[in-house]
């Protein structure tokens, strides 16, 4: 039998290859983490942009709701309020002006039995 010689050079090469293998596994893990974190960052940026636009829209609505124009518009249109010197006019429609809806009759399809359908297919009707 031949004995296997263990010299320093072979041990260093094998240890170097094992170390290189472990480093490659670590690099692969780090790259996977990088890709996952990049996807999460992009989705967070999208969510932040959506929330920012929502916040801007809400700030615009708050600014309009607290303005004098909004208060006057609500008071005149929905609150039925008038300014001093104005006269409130509420139009009332006459009772005979409401049109009556015309309901069109829908034709109903008669259901045929299975043998009648086959009879019509082969011999016509």
Q: Could you tell me the residue ranges of all domains in the chain?
A: 1-83
pLDDT digits (tens, 9 = 90+) for 79-105: 878 888 888 777 777 766 667 778 887
Q: How confident is the model at residue 2 (pLDDT cuts 50, 70, 90)?
A: low
Residue linked to tokens 């518009």: 73
Residues in contact with 80: Cβ distance below 8 Å, sequence separation at least 6, in sequence order: 88, 90
Decide if pLDDT at 1 tops 60: no
Q: Is 76 exposed, middle or buried (0-12, 13-18, 19+ CB in 10 A)?
A: middle
Identify which of 18, 25, 22, 1 has the alpha carbon closest to the alpha carbon of residue 10: 18
C-alpha angle with apex 48: 43 to 54, nearest 5 degrees?
A: 130
């Amino acid at each position: 039998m031949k004995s296997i010689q263990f010299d320093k050079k072979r041990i260093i090469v094998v240890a170097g290859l094992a170390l290189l293998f472990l480093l490659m596994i670590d690099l692969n893990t780090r790259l996977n983490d990088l890709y996952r974190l990049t996807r999460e960052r992009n989705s967070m940026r999208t969510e932040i942009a959506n929330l920012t636009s929502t916040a801007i829209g809400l700030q615009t609505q708050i600014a309009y709701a607290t303005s004098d124009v909004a208060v006057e518009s609500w008071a005149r249109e929905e609150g039925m309020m008038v300014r001093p010197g104005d006269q409130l006019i509420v139009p009332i429609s006459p009772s005979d002006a409401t049109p009556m809806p015309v309901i069109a009759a829908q034709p109903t399809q008669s259901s045929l039995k299975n043998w009648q359908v086959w009879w019509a297919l082969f011999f016509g009707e």
